[in-house]
Structure 1
């Protein structure tokens, strides 16, 4: 990876930036390099954090993280993929094979439930065509409510945007986060 285009801010942080970090980071954990890089524009940082959908939503943690891992992998956003593997893959109950498979095209359907296969297809379809075909929508409706599907659509789109920022800024990898499988 090339050198970061924007160096992450170092403490002490402006009060509004510190408040934003405290809203998104667990107590005692330093802010991620992505957040410290985006802190050069506090308004955008605050808006991104507010729209992140990492709260308890209408879908399960595992489903949310599956969409995030797939979307970031498809976008080549190794930084964001690794941060989510480090922070959430264990809590979501993913096996090492499943984590690696989020980077594979095509995926191994034997590793995933029918609902998870539909979510992976959703991320793929949105990434490739920016839409969902009727057949896939019917598959998704077998497993998810309208409320959940709206959240899924927004999650994939949001993490495409995060991927663009991570890749555009060339955010330096976090030491605790894994890299894409080789």
Structure 2
């Protein structure tokens, strides 16, 4: 049976743990983030030349048309315009490989790439697990150079240099694959 002394200890332990985990720790993390890594703590936001926030390094945005590098497809409806920055949704399609809807989706993506004269690669055909991946492979960016060079009256060499300047290497030199953030690449493209 629980005595009043045991009950009192349990209440004190609960209050102390609540104070540590509910107030002290979150406040420490907030202050640490704002002092030492404010860019990352505030969402890794990207600003354009005018100082307007145009997106985040961490969240993909849809790009279509001949003037821009296309991003990875997503089953998530990215927030754009007035709703930008309020995505709040991530996720994959959850369609099984045997599901005909998945095959239809892939066929649609392949047709769209073919009509734009872009050689298909996995990251331009398939969605990511989160649906918010902001990166494509350098090869996928290079596969789009001809279309953009014609539309913007640029040389392939200019675009190749732009892709190389915006390619991120492997994490710690060994983890992951080289990748290009599409939003940053397209902002650099607009600044040419």
TM-score computed with the length of structure 1 as normaliser: 0.29
User: Rg: which structure is higher?
Assistant: 2
Higher relative contact order by CA 8 Å / sep ≥ 6: 1 or 2? 1
TM-score computed with the length of structure 2 as normaliser: 0.28
Higher helix share: 1
Higher strand share: 2
